[in-house]
Chain A
Amino acid sequence: MEALFSGLSALYLAKCDAAKTGQVFQAFLPASTLVRAAERLLAADYYIEDICAVDCAEGYVVVYHFDHFEAPGRVTLRVLAPHASPVVPSIANVFHGAEWHERETRDFHGVVFEGNPNLIPLLMDPDMADCFPLRKEDKARAKAKDMLEAGEVVYCHPSFTLMTPDAPAEAKESGGDKPATA
């Protein structure tokens, strides 16, 4: 599984317990290599399950779920999109079904997927396309490491502190705007 992500400058790779979290592997990637990771997953016969965003204190964690028809086991890709300018490259040209999931994520969280062929409102009324119902207020946001499964770490980039427990409050490498209390 780790081989699938070699050369993609992954920030964080971890094995997870499927019986406890429903996923077998997770990878935090920089936005720049997301599309290449999706291409590799498609080449390895994975199918796309869904895409969603989680509004955390550090930014929007965009979560991509993939699974396999012949060798079941959910693989999760994660990308951090800063609150100030949440832009993530689109994988809709690799997994065509991602187009709708990305449009839905834009509707709910305002994350922009660059390269999506048709990024117009899907579920929300076009007249209220910019109300982003699932965005949280600053004080309601929780830290990613308090909620997301850390798993059994295989690799962690030294500058990647999003999932490191008890990390001192320091500037995040991602450039996401920090909450006032951090």
Chain B
Amino acid sequence: MTTYQNNDHLAGDFYTQNFAKTAGEGNLILNLGPQHPSTHGVLRVVVELDGEYIMRAEPVLGYLHRMHEKMAEVKTAAQFIPNMGRVDYGHALGWNWAFVGAAELVGGIEVPERAEYIRVITCELNRIASHLLWWGAYLLDLGAFTPIMYAFDDREKILDILQDPTGSRLTYSYYRIGGVAKDLSADCIRRIQEFIPWFRSRLPMYKDLVSDNIILRKRIEDIGVIEQEVCRRFGATGPVARGSGIKYDVRRAQPYSVYPKLDFEIPTSNLKCARGRYDVRMAEMEQSLRIIEQALEMMPEGEVLVKGAPKPSWKVPKGEGYFAVEGARGKIGAYVVSDGGKNIYRTKLRAPGYCNLSLFAEVSQGTILADAVAILGSLDLIIPEIDR
């Protein structure tokens, strides 16, 4: 018997207390997460419910905040590259690219052509792996267990391929300022060539078994409609914007590397709902295969790291630069301001998931709770990237 009674669960914490309730009488406040099977990672959403309907939702972030931007202030540019794989484990190479791209932009460093093709090939493989991770996990959210087994089977093959040049399976730190760390071996190229037709044969099966499945269709069609104007006000990019019919892809809009030489399409959907975003991602995997196929054929022989590439102690010259790449979740941006000192003066990381999630409060209003989970999943959230 103790006299102390912990009533914290009744009073709520800082964020529940600061949650602006709507006027509704008898509405229920529910904390979804931070540890909940249907909120990936440690995302917490405070929702106000009237019965099953969401009156107001407010995502609470910061549970995975590691302050990468502060770490950038105490490391040299080259030492900071491994942080990039930790920002977004889903599409680590996209982040690698954004940061080294920004350093190369300010430093005026050219990248050898072979390295550009290797970047394209590995980045696109990583994009497929990221979309497969989303696909499996999203269907798991919606109650379908089997697809993630197939997705991880395919993803495993990509991880095996990328393990050879990068030396890791998840948090890659492979790109260097002025190129990449290691050339693709003949064995690695052979495995990529084998992977392409194999994965291509799997996609129709996924369409038949999953995408056209009536249960899935009923769960995601007309759910979470995002208007184009909402995308602009919140800065949504990537499959979220393309699922609303905005034909915007950084690879085409602000071309970088050798993408202008490659022939691929930008899949869009005018459905604007979760189904639209689903369709866009499924179509993107096929386009990534096309890109890899062409890049393998066009890749010239040569160096993979520019001669006289920056050493770890290299100082980024004075200046500012903003470099963006198309990540699996949207526009990844690295904004670098350097005073010419040992460490970069200010590094700002633009996470696409951060902007995509910020529109959730508006879009989820008035939907039922089960649909909110379908909307959250359709945004393809990687929480470490959002919290940084």
Contact = CB atoms under 8 A, between A and B. Distances in A.
Nearest to A47: B232
B86 interface: no
Interface stretch (A3-11, A29-37, A144-152, A174-182): A144-152
A54 B345 contact: yes
B280 to A, nearest CB: 15
Nearest to B69: A134
Interface in B332-375: 333, 335, 337-341, 345-346, 348, 350, 354-355, 358-359, 362
A23 B388 CA distance: 24
Interface stretch (B133-141, B161-169, B317-325): B317-325
A23 B339 contact: no
A123 interface: yes
A21 to B, nearest CB: 5
B217 interface: no
Contacts of A162: none
A47 B346 CA distance: 23
A121 B359 contact: no
Given A50-B350, A69-B246, A96-B234, A21 B319 contact: yes
Interface centre among B69, B235, B241 (most CB of A within 10 A): B235
Interface in B59-115: 61-62, 65, 67, 69-70, 73, 102, 105, 108
Contacts of A18: 254
A96 to B, nearest CB: 5
B142 interface: no
Interface centre among A52, A55, A95, A108 (most CB of B within 10 A): A52
Interface string A54-81: 1100000001010001001010000000
How many B residues touch the partner, as a band?
Answer: 35 or more
A100 B65 CA distance: 14
A47 B238 CA distance: 13
A52 B339 contact: no
Contacts of A108: 69
Given A97-B358, A147-B339, A124 B350 contact: no
A126 to B, nearest CB: 4
Given A20-B105, A149-B320, A65 B233 contact: no
Contacts of A65: 322, 333, 335, 350
B235 A48 contact: yes
B384 to A, nearest CB: 12
Given A20-B321, A149-B320, A48 B233 contact: yes
A125 B62 contact: yes
B7 interface: no
A122 B62 contact: yes
Nearest to A143: B339
Contacts, number: 130
A100 B333 CA distance: 17
A113 interface: no
Contacts of B23: none
Nearest to B250: A72
B70 A134 contact: yes
B4 interface: no
B233 A148 contact: no
B348 A97 contact: no
Contacts of B73: 134
Contact of A100 (B70, B102, B358, B388): B358
A20 B237 CA distance: 23
A147 B338 contact: yes
Interface in B245-268: 246-248, 253-254
Nearest to B247: A69
Nearest to B253: A72
A156 interface: no
Contacts of B339: 142, 146-147
B69 A23 contact: no
B14 A126 contact: yes
Nearest to A148: B320
Contacts of A97: 233-236, 355, 358-359
A114 interface: no
B48 interface: no
A68 to B, nearest CB: 9
28 contacts: A18-B254, A20-B108, A21-B319, A21-B320, A22-B102, A22-B321, A47-B232, A47-B233, A48-B232, A48-B355, A49-B331, A50-B355, A54-B346, A65-B322, A65-B350, A69-B232, A95-B232, A96-B358, A100-B354, A118-B18, A122-B62, A123-B61, A123-B387, A126-B15, A146-B339, A147-B320, A147-B345, A148-B320
Instruction: Name the 3 nearest CB pairs between A and B, nearest first.
Output: A22-B322, A97-B234, A142-B339
Interface of A: 18, 20-23, 42, 45-50, 52, 54-55, 63, 65, 69, 72, 74, 94-97, 99-100, 108, 118, 120-126, 133-134, 142, 146-149
Given A50-B235, A97-B235, A134-B346, 8 more contacts: A22-B105, A49-B331, A69-B231, A69-B241, A74-B322, A96-B234, A97-B233, A123-B61
